[in-house]
Structure 1
Amino acid sequence: MRPSNLKISVDSEAAPYAADFAGRLLDPERPAPPGVTAPAGSAAARRFGIYRNNVTVSLIEALAAVFPATLRITGPEFFRAMARFHIRATPPTSPLLFEYGRDFPAFIEQYPHARSMPWLADVARIERAWLDAYHAADEAVLAPESLACAAPEALATSRFVAHPATRLLASDYPAFSIFSANRGDAPVGRIETKEPEWTLLTRPHLGVEVRKVSPDAAKMIASLMDGVPLGRAADDTLAAFPSFDLSAAIAGFIEAGAFRGFSAYGAHDET
């Protein structure tokens, strides 16, 4: 049999035991599973406890690697306690550690001890989006000359295709500013703004780029990502923001690498 045809099957009789084992592994209130033994009988529970602690610590460290700004904001002790509760509530479902933590921002939003930091969950969402953008598929970004070659009447009815790495996040808080201030090791000064912020994440080259975008540009980008034709997206944005600068917005999202292409249609093809 060729390796590509190999499949891993789970013994249906072993599955309940495996699920029970995993549940006990992440719950310190539960005893070691039946059948767990050690050379010195009574040491089995202690050894299982050591294994349980190692697994939990590994998962906490995985979350800390994905959410370094969140860690810096809260401090290690607070972060580890919060992460430990999250691990118990939402154990991993994938063997890939970088996949773990997708539910962490939502958990932070509901975590009672983080209520004094209502913006923390949105900062964590930016961090999770950063990792997803980093691991997104490689695609060439839309080149400015591609738009220059399109007829104006066709361009107005064109639908744009977002780059696989593009992420657009809205926050009722200055999440981008807080994220940016805490992502590195430099001292954090006072963040003056209290306004809501939109964050655009792209990967036009090798690295992920994170930038704040204005509300009007964000509305335009969001519409295009939803498949709204360029002309209609521009009209809707102008209706909401009369001072919207369409040329600047297009130049901005092209420079950012937010899209990988567009499909030009005639006016009769627009729906």
Structure 2
Amino acid sequence: MPGLPDFPAHGTLTFAFDAALKGAPLPAGLTATDPAEAERRFAVYRNNVATSLIEALARRFPVIRRLVGAEFFAAMARIYAEDHRPTSPVLLEWGQSFPDFLAGFAPLKGYPYMADVARIEYARGLAFHSADAPPMDPVRLAGADPYALRLRLAPSVRVLHLGHPAVSIWLQNQPGTAPGTVAPAGAEIALILRDRAFNVPVRPVTGAEARMVEGLGRGETLGVAAEAAVAADPDHDPQPLLLYLIGSGAITDLQETE
């Protein structure tokens, strides 16, 4: 339109704006009433964006922050945010790649469990914000044939197979606990769900218990899933895990089949 200045295409401007947030020169056409003030004012905006992203990551991964310290976490989060920008205005969806980032972050090479701890924290966020599903009345289980029952798990239920004792480390670094306790060696499995009180506990489970939960999630009948768990570990007792799922409200429905 005659009389209006030429502006770069939206994609070009967006790329240049994001680059400027990371320290590159200001995008073409970006100015202020006093052009000499443009750089100073943009620096304030650049700092606010970086600080907001660092704080968002700290809220999502509080145990990682506690493990490495606030100062180290802020520096690390700034590096992560430069190359892993949010792709949605919903910051809940941001940070999925943070565990893999930690796994490849050279200063943490001697702490390989960090990535698994971060996986627990990210999964807890997803579980907390998962879809609502009213818990099933446990009376419906009375007298039913377990080989004819398919139980529906709540959307919040997740099982994480971890290569390090990340569940123990996560539990030892909760508010009110004393950090620094030595965690056991070896892999662990986490069962994560949102309970009736909207808490998101992290429960360490055995391979047999994980097999049972995963079987139920795949649509196996209760009898088949429990039988497979016992096959994995002859000492496994399905009842405590089933009671835990019922008590937490993690079973939302059942279907009886022949």
Tell me the TM-score normalized by structure 1: 0.84
Partner of 1:135: 129
Offset from partner CA, 1:242-270 (integer Å, 9 cap, x none): 2111223322322233321222211xxxx
Runs of 4+ that moved beyond 3 A: none
| 2:219 pairs with 1:227 | yes
Among 76, 80, 83, the residue aligned to 2:70: 76
2:100 corresponds, among 106, 109, 132, to 106
CA contact (8 A) 2:151 2:221 kept: yes
- 2:84 corresponds in structure 1 to 90
Equivalent position of 1:50 in the other structure: 44
Q: How does 1:1-271 map to 2 (within 5 A)?
A: 14-28=9-23, 30-150=24-144, 152=145, 155-208=146-199, 209-266=201-258
* Alpha-carbon distance in 2 for matches of 1:222, 1:22: 45
Return the offset for 1:81.
Answer: 1.7
Determine the C-alpha separation between the residues in 2 that align with 1:186 and 1:251.
Answer: 27
Letter aligned with residue 240 of structure 2: A
State the Cα distance separating 1:191 from its structure 2 match.
2.4
Match of 1:160, SS state, is strand
Gap regions ≥5 residues in structure 2: 1-7
- TM superposition shift of 1:35: 0.8
Residue in structure 2 matched with residue 10 of structure 1 by the alignment? none
> Comparing 242-251 with 167-176, which one deviates more in the overlay?
242-251
CA distance in 2 between counterparts of 1:247 and 1:241 reads 14
> Contact 2:168–2:183 (CA<8 Å) still a contact in 1?
no
2:172 counterpart SS class: helix
1:40/1:26 CA distance change after superposition, 3 Å = closer
CA–CA separation in structure 2 for the residues paired with 1:257 and 1:199: 18
Distance 1:241 1:103 in 2: 34
Distance 1:97 1:25 in 2: 21
- Matched position secondary structure for 1:261: strand
**Cα distance in 1 for residues equivalent to 2:183 and 2:202:** 20
Write the deviation string for residues 104-143 of structure 1: whole angstroms up to 9, x where unpaired.
1222122222221111111111111222222122222233
Instruction: State the distance in 2 between where 1:25 and 1:60 align.
Output: 18
Q: Which amino acid aligns with 1:77?
A: E
Measure the CA separation in 2 of the matches of 1:98 and 1:246: 34
Residue of structure 1 in register with 2:4 after alignment: none
RMSD of equivalent CA atoms: 2.0
Partner of 1:4: none
Distance 1:97 1:44 in 2: 28
Q: Distance in 2 between matches of 1:264 and 1:22?
A: 57
% same residue: 37
Q: How many residues align?
A: 250
